[in-house]
Amino acid sequence: MSALPTLGLIGTGIMGAPIAGHLRAAGYPLRVHTRTPARARPALDAGATWAATPAEAADGTDFLLTIVTDTPDVEQVLFGTDGAAETLAPGSTVVDMTTISPRVTRVLAARLADREVALVDAPVTGGDIGARQGTLTIMCGGAPRAFAAAEPILKTFGRNVVHVGPPGSGQTLKACNQILCAVNMIGVCEALTLAGRSGLDLPQALETLAGGAGGSWAWSQLGAKIASDDLDPAFMVRLIQKDLRIVQEAAQELRVPLPGTALAQQLFRAVEAEPGGGALGTQAMIKAYRRLLD
């Protein structure tokens, strides 16, 4: 019998598939489930076992990891028909890496606690590149003991794994991260728009400012994509819009004004209004600025 705990993983999309690969490379026994079975093929080829339902994915596992799309999806895989909660054993732990509502996370943690199951909310940042390279930043909420038990698993694909507080805290910090992503994109687009209209060489501008006080990951990475007119997604517009709705829900509960975030939402909405716009990368915000110049 393996000395490593048995894991279940629900969700093998852009982020989940490479995470599954890291878990298998580390030797963890792994059972996977996803709504689109074809997406599980790389994990199965790496030695994972297929589970037909969330309940089957959770049955007999010590840790169940979930990385799906939105708050209702997490609720469904845990407590819907054939949900994982049906088979999660007392003493097991759910590690949810989806970006969802902090408030709902706290509700889910309480419901699982009634079954003697712990919840660690562990949303990730670093994109598909970070998932493939195993360099994600993972912000975790939950009981300290549950986090300590899950930490070695998370470190197989995360470089920076941090416990930030009780259940829901990881999701709250991820909301803060998404504010930075969205508002940084406004700065990148405005700076590049001014540089381009002024006749400056955009690659040179990107390189020159990257090391200055205004430099950022968004400027260097996504700014370069804008300069080459590459709007393919690493993170899609429709997904950051989902995240920003979560941000505004949390802010409304606390009566916190977020005008910069609201502006980013409207600019992304202008991109979404175009056919296929929601499937573009977040750097496609530049399309809204280009339209303003027309």
Where in the sequence numbering do the catalytic residues fall? Answer: 174
C-alpha span between 47 and 57 (Å, rounded): 15
Q: How many CA atoms lie within 13 A of 243 on its CB side?
A: 28
- Tracing tokens 């089957």 back to the chain, one arrives at 56
Give 160's strand partners: 137
> Angle at the Cα of 217 (from 180 to 137), degrees rounded to 5?
70
- Tracing tokens 């259940």 back to the chain, one arrives at 167
> Cβ distance 110 to 86 under 8 Å?
no
The helix (H) or strand (E) run that includes residue 160 is strand 158-165
For strand 49-50 and strand 63-66, is the pairing parallel, antiparallel, or unpaired? unpaired
